[in-house]
Amino acid sequence: MRVDVFTIFPSMLEAFLDCGVIGRSIEQGLVSVRVHDLRMGAGDPHRSVDDSPFGGGAGMVMMPEPLFNAVEQEDHPRPLFLLGPGGRRFDQATARELTEADGFSLLCGRYEGVDQRVGDHLVDGELSLGDFVMAGGEVAAMAIIEAVGRLVPGVLGNEMSAAEESFSDGLLEYPHYTRPAEFRGWPVPEVLRSGDHGRVDRWRRAQSLARTAALRPDLIEARGGVTAEERALLEEFGLV
């Protein structure tokens, strides 16, 4: 899996790419991330990438010429996505789609926005983390790289981790516990210490259903509600 990132702040990604799951996957050759400085596409001595908007208004807009130059002078994988609030909502399903490609590229917006001609003629689409505004796309790029990268085969030590986590089947993940078995009077649920793996699996499924219904009812609605079998599972553990 190869990911290229175009940004005016390459240093923002350096520490991120050295740490955690993504850092290890890069060391192991499972994921490759190349960061390109958009200012290298600027033609003036100050490496300017922004200018005031036509028609007036607050803020500055990223100019098309340095962005086109920076992208076109680098060999990079497609699709190329512009990161901004108007894009398709990035979610776990999108992350899985991107793992099916050999790679993709991300263009980080900044300032008040990006010249529309970039969106119309340079990129293949847009991605957004959600309905909120940040100063730029670098944080979004890091989030997308981690969400996609951890799904690449071999990146996670236990492949079941990706299969069982939140949103993998439209539900939030079940709660987790570890040692000690009792902490400040709060015990770990007995079922998790029972050694009955079948019952543990049913409990975890029931907990996922109950937790999703309580915290994200929209996800339950999106999957068509709770089936009769799932309701029986909830009843088994007194969750309805």
Say what the pTM is. Answer: 0.88
Asked if 95 and 148 touch (Cβ cutoff 8 Å), the reply is yes
DSSP 193-210: GS--HHHHHHHHHHHHHH
Interstrand relation of 113-114 and 125-128 (parallel, antiparallel or unpaired): unpaired
CA distance 38 to 107: 9
* Nearest alpha carbon to residue 115 among 40, 60, 192: 60
* Nearest alpha carbon to residue 232 among 208, 212, 202: 202
The structure tokens listed for 214 are: 């309580």
**pLDDT tens sequence for the chain (240 residues):** 999 999 999 999 998 999 999 999 999 999 999 999 999 999 899 999 999 999 998 899 999 999 999 999 999 999 999 999 889 999 999 999 999 988 999 999 999 899 999 999 999 999 999 999 899 999 999 999 999 999 999 998 766 555 556 566 889 999 999 999 999 999 999 999 999 999 999 999 999 999 999 999 999 999 999 999 999 999 999 999
CB burial readout 116-132, b (16+ within 10 A) else e: eebbeebbeebbbbeee
pLDDT of the residue at 143? 98
